[in-house]
């Protein structure tokens, strides 16, 4: 394992703030810090203590393994590139704010940003699950009279799990995406240059990134694949093990077919997230095992220990984001007067909420038991 020891070559460029130093936030922040990009991670005191004691370690499925030393370690160059804070005011002077909180905390995060006051030219990117977070941030900032920062929707493809001693493991591949224009605004030339600079900085830090003209469609596309989060959480096994069983894949395929039907009726067009194309996903998932892995392998790589964030939430006794993933399909069906088209989504939400209430982690349902509970033939 290597200590991150890069020169702070980007210190004169953009500075980043991570609002919500959890699994995704720490993974993004550690990569930026290791590249010498100034970054402030805002999170809970307990994690701050872990980082002070152990540094911030990142591993991934490609074999990367590095540690960014604690900000309290005066001998490490990389340590000077980042700070860990519990005070939101420390984000005040950042050029770019990445919101990585749970979706249920979006409005509170936006109110906090409005209260501390950001730079007029600041860019705020919502790198969260769900499809409506950027709009909530923009509306909240406007309501609070903090209308200057530009707010963009973003998409994170990674599955990152937190391990003890501030160790964060990324078990899947993918590319960060964010909108090519702020919510409710056209991207002028200056804004376009700034967004290109953000994408370039992230990419240089090992976080491949690009803008997209229809990020909202991409978010709906990602949500299609995130329907597996609940299946994985209810199964209680690693993602690769779950997807290696055709019986589980058929449950995911049925969930996706239902969601696509609801989206079509609602006029929502999901876009591909990378190589993963929503419309053909049910067909691929239904393939025999030997064909499935041959077809799916080029689309996304998953290491043997990767699990969904929803599984992690259940096993840490936290509220999940089910309302902002599978629950979005239930909401969409109800809003368009077709609630009868979303029985699988509704039953899945109920199972996850029952597991939350039980507080015993994943219920560890077999594919057969889960299919019966969801009434899938």
- Asked whether residue 154 carries a pLDDT value surpassing 90, the answer given is yes
- The pLDDT, as a whole number, for residue 77 is 46
Contact partners, residue 249, CB within 8 Å, separation at least 6: 243, 285, 286, 292
Asked whether the domain spanning 217-373 has the same topology as the one spanning 2-213, the reply is no
For residue 135, give the H/E element and its range: helix 133-143
The stretch 38-62 carries a mean pLDDT of: 93
**pTM of model > 0.85:** yes
Tokens of 234: 């209810």
Query: What's the CA gap between 228 and 13, in Å, rounded?
Result: 38
- The pLDDT, as a whole number, for residue 69 is 80
Q: Which of 149, 151, 147 is nearest to 120 (CA)?
A: 149
C-beta atoms surrounding 278 within 10 Å: 22
Query: What's the CA gap between 231 and 158, in Å, rounded?
Result: 17
The stretch 312-337 carries a mean pLDDT of: 96
55-59, 99-103, 146-150: the lowest-pLDDT one: 146-150
- Asked whether residue 16 carries a pLDDT value surpassing 90, the answer given is yes
pLDDT digits (tens, 9 = 90+) for 227-258: 999 999 999 999 989 999 999 999 999 999 99
- The pLDDT, as a whole number, for residue 145 is 65
Contact partners, residue 91, CB within 8 Å, separation at least 6: 17, 19, 40, 42, 85, 97, 113, 116, 118
Name the class of domain 217-373: mainly alpha
Query: What's the CA gap between 128 and 134, in Å, rounded?
Result: 9
The CATH number that domain 2-213 falls under is: 3.40.50.720
Among residues of the chain, what percentage have pLDDT more than 90?
75
**72 pLDDT tier (thresholds 50, 70, 90):** low
**84 pLDDT tier (thresholds 50, 70, 90):** very high
- Asked whether residue 70 carries a pLDDT value surpassing 80, the answer given is no
The stretch 301-307 carries a mean pLDDT of: 81
Q: What SS3 class is residue 38?
A: coil
* Residue 236: φ, ψ to 5°: 75, 25
Distance, CA of 42 to chain centre: 16
* DSSP state for residue 241 in the 8-state scheme: H
Provide the residue ranges of all domains of the chain, joining segments of one domain with +. Answer: 2-213, 217-373
Among residues of the chain, what percentage have pLDDT more than 70?
92
pLDDT digits (tens, 9 = 90+) for 196-209: 999 999 999 999 99
């Amino acid at each position: 394992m290597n200590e991150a020891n890069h020169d702070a070559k980007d210190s004169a460029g953009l500075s980043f703030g991570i609002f919500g130093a959890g699994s995704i936030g720490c993974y993004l922040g550690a990569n930026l810090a290791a590249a010498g990009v100034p970054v402030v991670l805002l999170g809970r005191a307990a994690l701050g203590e872990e980082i002070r004691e152990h540094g911030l370690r990142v591993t991934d499925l490609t074999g990367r393994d590095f540690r960014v030393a604690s900000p309290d370690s005066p001998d490490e160059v990389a340590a000077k590139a980042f700070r860990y804070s519990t005070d939101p005011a420390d984000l005040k002077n950042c050029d770019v704010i990445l919101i990585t909180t749970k979706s249920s905390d979006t409005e509170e995060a936006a109110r906090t940003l409005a209260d501390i006051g950001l730079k007029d030219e600041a860019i705020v990117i919502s790198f969260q699950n769900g499809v409506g977070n950027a709009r909530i941030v923009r509306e909240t900032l406007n309501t609070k009279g903090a209308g200057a920062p530009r707010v963009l929707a973003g998409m994170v493809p990674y599955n990152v799990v937190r391990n003890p001693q501030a160790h964060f493991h990324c078990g899947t591949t993918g590319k960060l995406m964010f909108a090519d224009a702020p919510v409710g605004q056209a991207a002028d030339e200056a804004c376009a240059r700034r967004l290109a600079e953000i994408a370039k900085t992230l990419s240089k830090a090992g976080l491949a990134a690009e803008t997209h003209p229809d990020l909202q469609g991409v978010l709906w596309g990602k949500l299609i694949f995130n329907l597996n989060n609940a299946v994985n959480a209810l199964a209680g096994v690693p993602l690769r093990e779950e997807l290696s069983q055709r019986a589980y894949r058929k449950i995911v395929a049925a969930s996706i077919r239902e969601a696509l039907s609801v989206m079509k009726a609602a006029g929502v067009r999901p876009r591909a997230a990378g190589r993963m194309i929503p419309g053909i996903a049910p067909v691929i998932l239904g393939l025999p095992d030997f064909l499935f892995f041959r077809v799916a392998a080029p689309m996304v790589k998953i290491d043997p220990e990767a699990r969904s964030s929803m599984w992690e939430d259940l096993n840490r006794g936290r509220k999940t984001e089910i309302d902002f993933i599978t629950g979005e399909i239930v909401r969409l069906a109800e809003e368009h007067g077709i609630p009868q088209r979303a029985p699988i989504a509704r039953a899945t939400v109920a199972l996850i909420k029952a597991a939350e209430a039980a507080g015993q982690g994943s219920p560890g349902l077999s594919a057969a038991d889960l299919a019966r509970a969801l009434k899938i033939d």
